[in-house]
Amino acid sequence: MSGPSDESHESSLRVENRALMEAVKTIGSTLDLDTVLQRLLYLTHKMLGFQYCTILLIAGDGVRLEVAARYGYPQSIVQRVELRVGRGVTGTVAETGVPLLVPDVSKEEHYLAGLAGARSELVVPLVFRGRVIGVFDVQSETIDAFDQADLELLSTLAGIASVAIINAKNHAAAIRNREEALRRKELERQLNIGRTIQEHLLPMDDPRVPGYDVSGMNLPSQTISGDYYDYVTLPGGHLGIAVADVSGKGVPAALLAASLQGTLRAHVEDLYSIAAIVERTNDSICGSTTPESYSTLFYGVLDPGGTLTYVNAGHNPPILMRRDGSTESLVEGGTVLGMFPGHPYREGRTQLAGGDYVVIFTDGLPDAARKDEAFGERRIIATIQRAAGAPARVMASLLVTEADAFSGPGRPADDITVVVARRLGDASAG
């Protein structure tokens, strides 16, 4: 017959076997990392009687030990103890991969005080395929609370926990990858929508208007911005030219640009005063957008006699180059659209002679950059002067290609939009 000690030993083995079976079941029951860890710690406490249990994982930097789950500890303990590989009992085990059984923490040189009243500690490594990924730590308020059997059992649990942790992490990574793929797919869908909207905002052909040569170009960036330009044929041989750049990127920017184009065109049909057109457009945009949505706009009208009447609403000042190569900036107008309802705008007016150019552009042109140097207005003016006498399309193309080449390989960071209006001489008119 077996004696009391044999019965006690058999009972202990049954508890241990049951704990291990429960641990194995835990692995198969969920792939959520937090759930796996909490169940393992609860199991360790329930089946083995360990009151204070912690699982710590080595962070991505390979230096810090992060508390992944704990049982029995107050939050304040975790917050005030700095846990690092190679520091303290847990850090030593994480560094060496060798378990440590500490009967009396007061006599252990590596021990870092954490739990008030802790007297003994047992730490085993979490190892997966020969690599330490963290540690399994238990403490007790009793001296010499753990023995070799506890160390062996906890090491076995740690092996099971390591598999569960890696499986859960791999599952989480797979989910993140799928979510990232879905986000990329959605982004591509939005970019396609935005690009389609933006393409419909741009004229199909250059306008034909007596006395002028007008041409526009747009070089799209990798993202969708709110650049657009438009021509409006008006009675009496007049031509309206609009160039705008709305805030933001993506579909919202493209939608705001479309809204601005539609609103401006609607007011152009009802009003002649350019200042009034821009004021009404501003009020409409203010009433239909959020405060952080705004747009810059240059709107000008060319008449057959060579007069350009315009409003610059916070836009990059277009450059007027006279036939002799001198330049002026077209600045009259007011602030950006969409932020200040009721804001008044001033009209600017200038007379164009044969051979004069008006170059209108969005900020993607001067802001085209390589390293910390921007293409800038100085290079824009130099390019215009060098191309004096060229057709409007040639000058627009030259500006876009030179800015693009200046910024280096790849698409520009922002859309580059340029519209050039050239006043023809008497011999070329018509």
283: left (phi over 0), alpha (psi -120 to 50) or beta: alpha
Helix segments in 271-317, DSSP class H: 274-288
Query: Are the C-beta atoms of residues 37 and 55 closer than 8 Å to each other?
Result: yes
pLDDT digits (tens, 9 = 90+) for 11-61: 555 555 565 566 566 555 666 777 778 777 777 777 667 778 888 898 888
Dihedral in degrees, nearest 10, Cα atoms 136, 137, 138, 141: 180
Cα–Cα dist 232/240, whole Å? 5
Parse the chain into domains and list their residue ranges.
4-174, 202-423
Q: What is the mean pLDDT of residues 151-176?
A: 82
Q: What is the mean pLDDT of the chain?
A: 83
CA distances 222 to 225, 229, 246, 417, Å, are 9, 19, 16, 14
Residue 398, token pair as written in the block:
């030259």
pLDDT digits (tens, 9 = 90+) for 82-138: 788 888 888 899 999 999 999 998 888 878 776 667 888 899 999 998 899 999 888
The CATH H-level (homologous superfamily) assignment of domain 4-174 is GAF domain (3.30.450.40)
pTM for the full model?
Answer: 0.59
| Long-range CB pairs of 280-284, under 8 A, 24+ apart, other chains included | 281/337, 282/313, 282/337, 282/338, 282/340, 282/341, 282/343, 282/345, 283/341, 283/342
The CATH H-level (homologous superfamily) assignment of domain 202-423 is PPM-type phosphatase domain (3.60.40.10)
Q: Which residues pair with 53 in a beta bridge?
A: 71, 138
Q: Is the pLDDT of residue 157 over 70?
A: yes
Cα–Cα dist 299/346, whole Å? 12
Q: What is the pLDDT of residue 44?
A: 75
Burial of 406: CB neighbours in 10 Å, binned 0-12, 13-18, 19+: middle
**Residue 326, CB half-sphere, CA atoms under 13 Å: how many?**
4
Q: Which residues pair with 377 in a beta bridge?
A: none
Beta-carbon contacts of 61 under 8 Å, excluding residues fewer than 6 positions away, are none
Cα–Cα dist 27/193, whole Å? 45
DSSP for residue 84:
B
Beta strands 131-140 and 327-329, pairing class: unpaired
Q: Which of 140-144, 178-182, 252-256 has the lowest mean pLDDT?
A: 252-256
* SS3 at position 91: helix
Which helix (H) or strand (E) is 192 found in, with range?
helix 148-201
